[in-house]
Amino acid sequence: MHRSRFERGKALLTRQIYGGKVNAEVTFLKEGPYIITVRAGAFPVEGKPSLSTEVVSVPSPLTEEGLAKRFLQYVEAAVGEVDITQADILVAVGRGIKEAENLPVAKEFADAVGGVLACTRPVVDKKWLPKDRQVGTSGKTVKPKVYIALGISGAFQHTAGIKGQER
């Protein structure tokens, strides 16, 4: 079970290792405060939160002049034509389809089975499909009922984005 909890004042967390193939229970060596981040869709929502939280403003000792980088703006991710995280059936393509001219065949197949077309990072890097269709550690985490992979090697960076499936 993927669950985070507190015991004796320490946070016990489930963390994915080995590209999402193993879940490890971990804790911190020192007492809080902690900053904990969770990838959207990584774990199911269970019940209501039982922890109370508060936002504490902590002044930074760094000055604007002392920073090599500075925040310019927040750019909202573009909304794609489909949300692959909500699809029941995904047909994903990888570099094994050889060329962009083979995408229409995969799209036709996805449409025929009532699915949505998704892809791996190399397909996005080649600009064959937009980033909003990418599954994996640098893409989106998905949990479809059916996942059909075409021309995909099964690299851990890709399979880590597929949750709840037997591999």
- pLDDT tens across the length of the chain (167 residues): 456 677 777 778 888 788 777 888 888 877 767 777 777 776 666 777 666 777 788 787 777 666 666 678 887 766 678 889 999 999 999 999 999 999 999 999 999 999 999 999 999 999 999 999 999 988 899 999 999 999 999 888 888 888 765 54
Domains defined for the chain, CATH in brackets: 1-38 (no CATH), 84-159 (3.40.50.1220)
Q: Helix, strand, or coil here: 25?
A: strand
Per-residue model confidence (pLDDT) at position 92: 96
* Cα-based angle 139, 36, 143 (whole degrees, multiple of 5): 35
Per-residue model confidence (pLDDT) at position 108: 96
Closest residue by Cα to residue 140 from 18, 39, 35, 14: 39
Per-residue model confidence (pLDDT) at position 121: 94
DSSP string of 51-72, one letter each residue: ----------S--TTT-SS---
Cis peptide before 33 (omega within 30 of 0): yes
Label the pairing between strands 89-93 and 22-27: unpaired
Q: Report d(CA 136, CA 54) in Å as an integer.
A: 33
User: Does the reported pTM lie above 0.75?
Assistant: no
Distances (CA, A) of 142 to 41, 67, 113, 158, 165: 7, 37, 18, 11, 10
Per-residue model confidence (pLDDT) at position 101: 96
Per-residue model confidence (pLDDT) at position 49: 67
DSSP string of 67-106, one letter each residue: -SS------PPPP-SS-GGG-SEEEEE-GGG-SGGGHHHH
